[in-house]
C-alpha cells in the first residue's frame, strides 16, 4: 500500500460520495404494491377463509404442490420429515432449523427482498411475531377447521399456538437430593449462588428473553416475594425502575453464567457426577434429556412467586407462500392427528409406532415441559407437574412496548 493510493482514493471517494448520495435521495421510500390479496383469495386464507373447508381437496392440491418449506425455531421438527412423508406421500417436507431470532429475521429480510420462500413459519417471541410479522402482513393466521372447536380461542387468535412451553429452574438432583435448593426466587441473588446460575443469552434466545420479560412484567409480585423472603421492602439499585428489573440486575451482578446453547446448559446442570453443577434457568422441555442422555435434572417446582414462565410457539402461513395448501396440511399435521383424544393409549417412545401415528407433529414435543393447545390431548407420562406449577405468561403488547428498554437494560448490566 503506497501513501498516494490513499490520497487519490480519497479524491475518488469524494466524487463517488456526491454521486451516490444523489442516487440515494431518489431511492428512499419506495415500497412494492401488495400482491398479497390475490394470493389470499387463491389460497382461501385470511378474509377468504370463510366457507366450509374441503380437507380432501386441500390434501389433493397440496400433493400437486409437492413441497412444504418450514422455517422453525425448533430443531425437533426435523425429526418429523420421515413421518410426514409416510402420511402424505408426494409432499416433501423441508425444514430450516433457524432458531427463534433467525426465523423472524430470515422471513423479514426475504420478504423485504420480494423473496417468498417459506410456507410455514413456526417460532416464539410473541412481541415480534405479533407486532412485527402478523400485524405487518408477513404472516397469515390459519387454523384447520376441524381443530377449531378443540382449541381455546386464546390459543388460536390472533395467532395459532403450535405448542406451549415454559422456562423453569433446573437443579441437579444428585447434588441436591430430596428437594430443590431454593423456595424463593430471590435466593438465587445471594452470594451462595454466585457464578452458579446459568441461562441462555436472552439477546439470542427468544424463549429466554420472554422469560426475562415475564418477571419484569410483574414487579409488584416480585417485590412482595422479596418481602416474604427477607421480611423487609426491597431497596432498588440506582437507576433501576422496579423489583422486576432489580431481580435481573442482581442476577447479573451475582455472576450469572451466559450460555449460547440450551443443550450445553442442560448438560451443565444435569450431567451426573459433577462437583459443582449449575442451576439452569432453561426450557422445561430439556427435562426429556434425563431419559435420552442420562441427565439428573430436576425442576424447581414450588418457587415463590412463580415457578413456570410460559411461552407459546406460534405457527402461521407465510405471506405469499408458494405452497399454501401444503402449508395448511403441515399446520394440521403439527397439531397431531384428529383421531387423538383423551383416551388414546400412548407409550414411550412417543416418536415411534402407533404413538407416533396418533401424535404426528406433536410426538417430539410430547414431554413434561410442553403442552399442546388442543384440549383433547392426553397428558404425557409425568406431565402432572405441568399443572401443579404456578405459571405466569407475558403479554405480547408489553413485550413490544418494553422490549427495547429491556434489551438496553440487559446490555448495560451484563457488561463487566
Partner 1 sequence: MTSNSFLSEERSPIFSRSNLTYFLYKLVNRPHLILGAICLFVLSFLVLTPLLEIIRDSLSIQSYDIAYLPDAKIGEFSLFHFERVFTGPLSKALLINPLLNSIAIGICVTLIGVSIGTVFAWLIVRTNIRFKGFFGALAVVPYMMPSWVLALAWLSLFKNDRIGGAEGMFTYFFGIQPPNWISYGFFPIVICLSLHYYAYGYLLMSGALASVDSELEDAGAICGMNRRQRMWRITVPLLLPALGSAIVLTFIRILGTFGTPALLGLPVRFYTFSTQIYASLNASNNGDAYVLALVLIVTAITCIWINNRVLGVRKSFVTLTGKGFRSREIDLGTWRWIATIGVGLFLSATVFLPLVILLWESLIIVPGEYSLSNITLEYWIGDGSIDVVYGEPGVFQSDNILSSLWNSIRLGLSAAVFNGIIGLLVGYAVVRGRGTHLSKWLEGIAFAPYIFPSIAFGAIYIGMFSTSWGPVPALYGTFTILVLITIVKNLPFTSRTGIAAMLQIDNSIEETARVQGIGWFKRMVRIVIPLSFSGLVSGMLLTFITAMRELSLIILLISPSNMVLTGLLFNYNEQDMAQHAGAVTLLLTFIIISGSIIARMISGGFGLSALKNS
Q: Using alpha carbons only, how large is the chain's radius of gyration in Å?
A: 24
Prior bond to 379 cis, omega within 30?
Answer: no
Question: How many angstroms separate the CA atoms of 339 and 60, rounded?
Answer: 20
Please list every residue from 293 through 332 that binds partner 1, using CB under 8 A.
293
Asked if 102 interacts with partner 1 (CB under 8 A), we say: yes
| # binding residues, partner 1 (CB under 8 A) | 69
Judged by beta carbon, residue 164 or residue 217, the one nearer partner 1 is 217
Q: Cell for 188? A: 438465587
Question: Hey, which residues between 353 and 412 contact partner 1 (CB under 8 A)?
Answer: 400-401, 403-404, 407-408, 411-412
Q: What CA–CA distance (Å, rounded) separates 165 from 214?
A: 14
Distances 100 to 97, 135, 396 between C-alpha atoms, Å: 9, 18, 15
Is there a cis peptide before residue 158, judged by omega within 30 degrees of 0?
Answer: yes
DSSP helix/strand/coil, 135: coil
Q: Which stretch binds partner 1 (CB under 8 A): 10-18, 59-67, 159-167, 302-310?
A: 10-18
Stretch that binds partner 1, among 59-67, 106-114, 243-251, 319-327 (CB under 8 A): 106-114
Instruction: Calculate the alpha carbon distances from 34 to 108, 118, 119, 136 in Å.
Output: 15, 17, 18, 11
- Least Å distance, CB 313 to partner 1, is 18
**C-beta of residue 111 within 8 angstroms of C-beta of residue 61:** no
HSE-CB for 263 with a 13 A CA cutoff = 5
Asked whether 148 and 53 are in contact (CB, 8 A), the reply is no
Nearest CB to partner 1, comparing residues 60 and 401: 401
Closest approach, Cβ 208 to partner 1, in A, equals 13
- Nearest distance in Å: CB 343, partner 1: 30
Q: How far is the CB of 247 from partner 1 (least distance, A)?
A: 18
Site string for partner 1, 59-98 (x = CB under 8 A): ----------------x---x----------------xxx
Nearer to partner 1 among residue 98 and residue 161 (C-beta): 98
* CB of 23 or CB of 231, closer to partner 1: 23
Q: Nearest approach, Cβ of 82 to partner 1 (angstroms)?
A: 11
Report how far residue 235's alpha carbon sits from residue 233's, in angstroms, rounded to the nearest whole number.
Answer: 6
14 is a site residue for partner 1 (CB under 8 A): no
| Residue 6 vs 48, nearer CB to partner 1 | 6
Burial class, 268, CB count within 10 angstroms (exposed 0-12 / middle 13-18 / buried 19+): buried
Contact set with partner 1 (CB under 8 A): 1-6, 8-9, 12-13, 16-17, 20-21, 24, 28-29, 75, 79, 96-98, 101-102, 105-106, 108-110, 112-115, 117, 195, 198, 201, 203-204, 239, 257-261, 263-264, 267-269, 271, 274-278, 292-293, 400-401, 403-404, 407-408, 411-412, 414-416
Amino acid at each position: 500500500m503506497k501513501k498516494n493510493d490513499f490520497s487519490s482514493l480519497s479524491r475518488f471517494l469524494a466524487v463517488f460520495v456526491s454521486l451516490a448520495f444523489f442516487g440515494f435521495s431518489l431511492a428512499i421510500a419506495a415500497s412494492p404494491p401488495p400482491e398479497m390479496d390475490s394470493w389470499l383469495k387463491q389460497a382461501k386464507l385470511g378474509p377468504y377463509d370463510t366457507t366450509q373447508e374441503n380437507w380432501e381437496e386441500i390434501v389433493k392440491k397440496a400433493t400437486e404442490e409437492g413441497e412444504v418449506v418450514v422455517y422453525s425455531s425448533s430443531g425437533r421438527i426435523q425429526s418429523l420429515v420421515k413421518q410426514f412423508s409416510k402420511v402424505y406421500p408426494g409432499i416433501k417436507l423441508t425444514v430450516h432449523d433457524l432458531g427463534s431470532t433467525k426465523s423472524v429475521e430470515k422471513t423479514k429480510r426475504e420478504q423485504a427482498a420480494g423473496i417468498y420462500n417459506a410456507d410455514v413459519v413456526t417460532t416464539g417471541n410473541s412481541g415480534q411475531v405479533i407486532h412485527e410479522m402478523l400485524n405487518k402482513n408477513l404472516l397469515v393466521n390459519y387454523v384447520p377447521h376441524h381443530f377449531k372447536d378443540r382449541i381455546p380461542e386464546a390459543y388460536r387468535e390472533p395467532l395459532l399456538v403450535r405448542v406451549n412451553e415454559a422456562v423453569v429452574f433446573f437443579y441437579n438432583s444428585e447434588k441436591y437430593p430430596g428437594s430443590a435448593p431454593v423456595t424463593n426466587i430471590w435466593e438465587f441473588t445471594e452470594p451462595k449462588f454466585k457464578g452458579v446460575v446459568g441461562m441462555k443469552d436472552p439477546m439470542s434466545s427468544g424463549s429466554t428473553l420472554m422469560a426475562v420479560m415475564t418477571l419484569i412484567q410483574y414487579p409488584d409480585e416480585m417485590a412482595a416475594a422479596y418481602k416474604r423472603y427477607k421480611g423487609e421492602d426491597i431497596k432498588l439499585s440506582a437507576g433501576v425502575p422496579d423489583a422486576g428489573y432489580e431481580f435481573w440486575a442482581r442476577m447479573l451482578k451475582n455472576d450469572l453464567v451466559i450460555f449460547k446453547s440450551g443443550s450445553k446448559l442442560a448438560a451443565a446442570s444435569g450431567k451426573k457426577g459433577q462437583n459443582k453443577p449449575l442451576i439452569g434457568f432453561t426450557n422445561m422441555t430439556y427435562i426429556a434429556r434425563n431419559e435420552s442422555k442420562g441427565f439428573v435434572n430436576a425442576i424447581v417446582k414450588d418457587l415463590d412467586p412463580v415457578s413456570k414462565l410460559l411461552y407459546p410457539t406460534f405457527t402461521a402461513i407465510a405471506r405469499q407462500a408458494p405452497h399454501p395448501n401444503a402449508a395448511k396440511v403441515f399446520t394440521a399435521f403439527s397439531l397431531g392427528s384428529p383421531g387423538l383424544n383423551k383416551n388414546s393409549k400412548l407409550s414411550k417412545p412417543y416418536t415411534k409406532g402407533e404413538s407416533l401415528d396418533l401424535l404426528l407433529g406433536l410426538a417430539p414435543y410430547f414431554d413434561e415441559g410442553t403442552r399442546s393447545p388442543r384440549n383433547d390431548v392426553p397428558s404425557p407420562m409425568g406431565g402432572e407437574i405441568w399443572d401443579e406449577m404456578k405459571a405466569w405468561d407475558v403479554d405480547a403488547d408489553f413485550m413490544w412496548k418494553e422490549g427495547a428498554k429491556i434489551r438496553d437494560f440487559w446490555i448495560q448490566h451484563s457488561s463487566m
